[in-house]
Chain A
Amino acid sequence: MKVRAIQFSPALGNIEKNLEFHVAKIAQAIRDGRELIVFPELSLSGYQLKDIACDIALKKDGPEWQEIENLSKKIDIIVGAPLEEEPGIIYNTALYFSKGKWRHTHRKVQLPNYGMFEERMIFKQGDEFRTFKIGSLTAGILICREILFPMLAYLYFIQKTDLLIGISNSPQRGIGKDGISSFQLWETMGYVISQFYHQNYLFVNRVGFEDGIGFGGGSFFARAGQGICQKAKYIDEDMFDADVQPADVRRARLSSNYLRDEQPELVLREMRRILHA
């Protein structure tokens, strides 16, 4: 599967401008023969929405989707958006479009609400981690902070996911002599997902600034069992193409058999014992 990752800076609260950018990048990806294009978390709206969310949250039957659905006849598309699924109930979502239809919605479960983050002031939490098909691949989506909970990637691991897609709006923070500590978080998890959960893993982060908070970029593709093999720039807008091979998942599984030896029933039993003790 020929994948393209778009690392860009959405305009805060300006759906029209962001949609225009998406359409241009999707059209370009179609011309370039790509099969899947992935945008960052909240790519249609920007991140620090605060009260803007109530003003601009997208509706399920909104006019915006028609254009993306039409484009998805020629390429599969993943975008991020604040979605008002019921009046007054907004989710932070990742949406998958394919063959002219909106086919999958992932609602962010882990909404950060500490320090500079206040997502629970805006969004309702999702409550599931379901896989879906992208062509012949079994795929799953994690949104930003969900990536930092290894147990959530595990849920996709035991659903035999070939391609895990992590979309993010990660503010860069923690400057020191070795650089920015938040950059290392995502790469560490990329290594874990690739090496121990044997999934191809595409991480797409945004860049740009919102009132002084900068988003670090550094999107990457980690091949199953091999770690990070392609990486976008930090801080600047960028994009890259990756070729996702299901054969890499098979090779990784054969090399160390984590999936074969995994015992989810035991994990479930032990979880019940621990939780109900």
Chain B
Amino acid sequence: MLKIRCDLVEKILVSAIRDSIHKNNFKNAIVGVSGGLDSAVVLALCRKALGAGHTHALLLPYRVSAPESLEHGKMVCAQFKVPFEVIDISPSVDAFFDRFPAENRLQIGNKCARERMSVLYDFSVRKKALVAGTSNKSELLVGYSTQFGDSAAAFLPIGDLYKTQVFELARHLGIPDAIVSKKPSADLWPGQTDEGEIGITYQDLDIILHLMIDRRWDEGEIIEHGYPLLVIRHIKKMIVASQFKRTMPPVIKLHPRTVGIDFRYLRDWNK
């Protein structure tokens, strides 16, 4: 059901990346490479779109990040011959929490995600590059991201591909097997897995999302397809609860034309 023609998807995404970068008078993209699947795929696509000399990778480990994440990040950079820098975010994150101790591990995870964003945006100036985001459609829809953290980017090349489709594209692009075959994880704390956090496998999540969002099936139709009502409701709840992450903050309207409401222009205005 979710199979894609990878050669065509690659062609569209590579063209789109090139267009986003060049239209904004840049030549370079910068990618935060986590050692996971999504950033590996985005890195490979940017490399194909812009060339090795115009693709930059930052590896941004925190002290509790899995050591294999850093190794896998280096592996994918080596495979696609992309220059990279490793910047340990532990000193800056820990300096903050030394002053204001964290109340839970999610707070630390979110801080790490925003610290990585902050470093990426700083380096985007140093490298004269736009930040290529690595969010996929599954996580965008259920809100499995940190607002203004990993969700912050100049553009989201794989934002309309479900996670299972990112796997398919990764195999097509030749992403190392060690990365494709491991359990997806945001790596915000030891042992964390996406599927454990979301409470459902990507295989099931993606099919339900596809039926619900792309095909507009109602609950009854999805139940007939073999999924329990409780799971469907859980997913719907996540989608609704995370809508704030997918929109700009509301502006309170006072004037006849208001930014974000009826001042309607694309980013590509006059480009």
* Chain A residues proximal to chain B, CB less than 8 Å: 9, 11-14, 46, 48, 50-52, 172, 175-180, 208-212, 214, 234-236
The answer to whether A176 and B5 touch across the interface, beta carbons within 8 angstroms, is: yes
The answer to whether B270 and A235 touch across the interface, beta carbons within 8 angstroms, is: no
**Across-interface contacts of B15 in A (CB, < 8 A):** 209, 214, 235-236
The answer to whether A179 and B271 touch across the interface, beta carbons within 8 angstroms, is: no
A-B contact pairs, 23 of them (CB 8 A): A13-B269, A14-B271, A48-B266, A50-B266, A51-B263, A52-B265, A172-B12, A175-B9, A176-B4, A178-B5, A179-B8, A208-B19, A209-B15, A209-B268, A210-B266, A210-B268, A211-B266, A212-B16, A212-B155, A212-B156, A214-B15, A235-B12, A236-B15
Interface 1/0 per residue, B237-271 and A, CB below 8 Å: 00000000000000000000000000111111111
The answer to whether A209 and B20 touch across the interface, beta carbons within 8 angstroms, is: yes
Contacts A51-B264, A212-B16 given: A177-B5 contact, CB under 8 Å?
yes
* Chain B residues proximal to chain A, CB less than 8 Å: 3-5, 8-9, 11-12, 15-16, 19-20, 23, 155-156, 263-271
List 6 tightest A-B contacts by C-beta distance, closest first: A177-B3, A50-B264, A211-B266, A209-B19, A51-B264, A12-B268
The answer to whether B3 and A176 touch across the interface, beta carbons within 8 angstroms, is: yes
**Across-interface contacts of B270 in A (CB, < 8 A):** 11-14, 52
* A175 CA / B4 CA spacing, docked (Å): 6
Q: Which of A12, A51, A211, A212 has the most CB of B within 10 A?
A: A212
Contacts A51-B264, A175-B9, A176-B3 given: A12-B269 contact, CB under 8 Å?
yes
* A13 CA / B23 CA spacing, docked (Å): 14
* A180 CA / B16 CA spacing, docked (Å): 16
**Told that A51-B265, A209-B15, A212-B156 touch, could you supply 19 new A-B pairs with CB distance under 8 A?**
A9-B19, A11-B270, A11-B271, A12-B266, A14-B270, A14-B271, A52-B270, A175-B9, A176-B3, A176-B5, A177-B3, A209-B19, A211-B266, A211-B267, A214-B12, A214-B16, A234-B8, A235-B11, A235-B12
**Across-interface contacts of A51 in B (CB, < 8 A):** 263-265
* A176 CA / B15 CA spacing, docked (Å): 19
B18 to chain A, nearest CB (A): 9
B17 to chain A, nearest CB (A): 10
* A214 CA / B11 CA spacing, docked (Å): 11
Question: Quick one: closest A residue to B4, CB to CB?
Answer: A175
A121 to chain B, nearest CB (A): 8
* A166 CA / B13 CA spacing, docked (Å): 27
* A214 CA / B155 CA spacing, docked (Å): 14
**Across-interface contacts of A46 in B (CB, < 8 A):** 268
The answer to whether A211 and B268 touch across the interface, beta carbons within 8 angstroms, is: yes
* A9 CA / B156 CA spacing, docked (Å): 21
The answer to whether A180 and B269 touch across the interface, beta carbons within 8 angstroms, is: no
* A179 CA / B264 CA spacing, docked (Å): 32
The answer to whether A179 and B12 touch across the interface, beta carbons within 8 angstroms, is: no
**Across-interface contacts of B8 in A (CB, < 8 A):** 175, 179-180, 234
